[in-house]
């Protein structure tokens, strides 16, 4: 399935298909880019998928340099970015060349940042191998490294030239990581598309069982929803905030627990439940709308009860969110499944009640 992302001169295609990692070269060649490619990955992902991607690039006529970075969030540091710039220079990478990120969201964020900054920007391709990266992080051109005091603080928008999503890679994901990615798909349904949410409800058992037919259809659906938002608000001016549903409280839960207790997706699941409750408390959503969101997350094996954190600590973390504007925190609410409303005037007591209810 080919999903266009229409951004004028920065347009690109998301190719979603089981087995697509063996066809990266075929997708890349028609773009008419230079002959040098750098494949950025971590050692574990490279062992699983590196050979098939490198071979497909070589067969398509590219010369490939492979570059390993640390696994997970430690990849997103200035020191690692500097090592990558050095490696690109040594490999003779120029503005016609392409940096490809093979792996989860962290590899994509780092490699995108390196591609955005080296020589003021070289071609970039996303090859996401986690559900979270496939339906969210790889689409839309957000790139970043972490600052010691805040995640994703240093970065830029740099759209990829191509995204290749191979849903068969979910076969190698640990159960907890797989389920965590499903939370971002639920998010898309909650605020963007009631029909998609219904489909997820009907397919929950198949998703949990990793039935590839259902997984491919729903991952593609989620990519399409994200693409439509990015097309309308490439630079995160307003509408793109809708993708923050469940994240205002989710990010704060992660920060308040020092990123130890929940995965990002688990924190987003808890954030969705709390923000759904907030909408109900503010008279925006019915109890049934809240219950459906909680039930779907539970059916997908995600946590829905916020326990063991002090709501006041979470509220303090919300106030430090980099999306805060003049001290006011923007929240996305879902008045009905598939619809959203952005609000900025939520009172502390209502947030505390949603967290503690």
CA–CA dist 94, 107 (Å, integer): 21
Q: Which is nearer to ligand GLY, 215 or 242 (CB)?
A: 242
- Contact string 25-64 vs ligand GLY (x = CB under 6 A): ----------------------------------------
331-333 and 98-103 strand pairing: unpaired
Site for ligand GLY in 108-137 (CB under 6 A): 136
Q: How many residues belong to the site for ligand GLY (CB under 6 A)?
A: 6
92 by Cβ neighbours in 10 Å (0-12 / 13-18 / 19+) ranks as: exposed
Site for ligand GLY in 249-268 (CB under 6 A): none
CB of 341 to ligand GLY, least distance (A): 18
Q: Which is nearer to ligand GLY, 246 or 311 (CB)?
A: 246
CA–CA dist 275, 353 (Å, integer): 11
Q: How far is CA 1 from CA 4, 46, 164, 219, in A?
A: 10, 25, 10, 11
Which letter does DSSP use for residue 261 in this model? S
Q: Which is nearer to ligand GLY, 55 or 233 (CB)?
A: 233
273 by Cβ neighbours in 10 Å (0-12 / 13-18 / 19+) ranks as: buried
CB of 240 to ligand GLY, least distance (A): 5
CB of 63 to ligand GLY, least distance (A): 32
Helix (H) or strand (E) holding 78: helix 78-90
Among candidate residues 267, 280, 276, the one with its CA nearest the CA of residue 314: 267
Ramachandran area for residue 11 (φ above 0: left; ψ -120 to 50: alpha; else beta): beta
Exposure string for 246-262, b = 16+ CB within 10 A, e = fewer: bbbbbbbbbbbbeeeeb
Judged by CB under 6 A, the stretch of 54-62, 96-104, 150-158, 235-243 that binds ligand GLY is 235-243
Site for ligand GLY (CB under 6 A): which residue of 29, 83, 151, 240? Answer: 240
CB of 243 to ligand GLY, least distance (A): 4
Q: Which is nearer to ligand GLY, 141 or 167 (CB)?
A: 141
Q: Which is nearer to ligand GLY, 55 or 234 (CB)?
A: 234
Site for ligand GLY (CB under 6 A): which residue of 243, 267, 296, 302? Answer: 243
3-state secondary structure of 344: coil
CB of 51 to ligand GLY, least distance (A): 30
In the β-sheet with 98-103, what is the strand arrangement from edge to edge? 2-5, 12-16, 162-165, 123-128, 98-103, 36-41, 63-68
Cβ distance 249 to 274 under 8 Å? yes
Judged by CB under 6 A, the stretch of 48-56, 236-244, 249-257, 261-269 that binds ligand GLY is 236-244
CB of 106 to ligand GLY, least distance (A): 13
Q: Which is nearer to ligand GLY, 79 or 237 (CB)?
A: 237
CB of 167 to ligand GLY, least distance (A): 19
Cβ distance 279 to 289 under 8 Å? yes
CB of 4 to ligand GLY, least distance (A): 17
Q: Which is nearer to ligand GLY, 38 or 242 (CB)?
A: 242
Residue 221 in contact with ligand GLY, rule: CB under 6 A: no
Cβ distance 78 to 139 under 8 Å? no
Closest residue to ligand GLY: CB criterion:
243
Q: Which is nearer to ligand GLY, 140 or 311 (CB)?
A: 140
Site for ligand GLY in 135-154 (CB under 6 A): 136, 140, 142
In order, the DSSP letters of 288-309 are HHHHHHHHHHHHTT------SS
Q: Which is nearer to ligand GLY, 25 or 246 (CB)?
A: 246
Contact positions vs ligand GLY (CB under 6 A): 136, 140, 142, 236, 240, 243
């Amino acid at each position: 399935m080919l999903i266009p992302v229409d951004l004028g001169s920065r347009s690109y295609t998301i190719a979603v298909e089981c087995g697509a990692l063996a066809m990266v070269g075929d997708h890349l060649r028609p773009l008419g880019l230079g002959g040098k490619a750098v494949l950025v990955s971590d050692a574990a992902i490279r062992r699983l998928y590196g050979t098939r991607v490198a071979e497909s690039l070589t067969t398509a006529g590219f010369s490939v340099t492979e570059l390993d970075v640390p696994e997970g969030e430690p990849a997103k540091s200035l020191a690692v970015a500097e090592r990558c710039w050095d490696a690109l220079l040594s490999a003779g990478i120029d503005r016609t060349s392409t940096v490809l990120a093979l792996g989860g969201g962290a590899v994509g964020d780092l490699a995108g940042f390196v591609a955005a900054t080296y020589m003021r920007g070289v071609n970039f391709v996303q090859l996401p191998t986690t559900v979270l990266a496939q339906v969210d992080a790889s689409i839309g051109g957000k790139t970043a490294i972490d600052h010691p005091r805040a995640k994703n603080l240093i970065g830029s928008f740099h759209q990829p030239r191509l995204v290749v999503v191979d849903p068969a890679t979910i076969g190698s994901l640990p159960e907890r990581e797989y389920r965590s990615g499903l939370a971002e798909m639920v998010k898309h349904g909650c605020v963007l598309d009631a029909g998609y949410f219904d489909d997820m409800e009907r397919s929950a058992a198949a998703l949990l069982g990793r039935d590839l037919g259902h997984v491919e259809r729903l991952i593609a659906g989620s990519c399409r929803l994200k693409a439509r938002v990015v097309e309308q608000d490439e630079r995160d001016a307003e509408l793109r905030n809708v993708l923050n549903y469940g994240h205002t409280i989710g990010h704060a839960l992660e920060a308040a627990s020092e990123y130890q207790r929940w995965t990002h997706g688990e924190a987003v699941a808890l954030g969705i439940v709390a923000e759904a409750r907030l909408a109900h408390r503010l008279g925006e959503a019915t109890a049934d709308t809240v219950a459906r969101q909680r039930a779907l997350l539970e059916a997908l094996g995600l946590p829905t009860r916020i326990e063991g954190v002090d709501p006041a600590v979470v509220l303090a973390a919300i106030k430090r969110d980099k999306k805060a504007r003049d001290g006011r925190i923007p929240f996305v609410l879902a008045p009905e499944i598939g619809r959203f409303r952005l609000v900025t005037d939520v009172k502390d007591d209502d947030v505390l009640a949603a967290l503690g209810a």
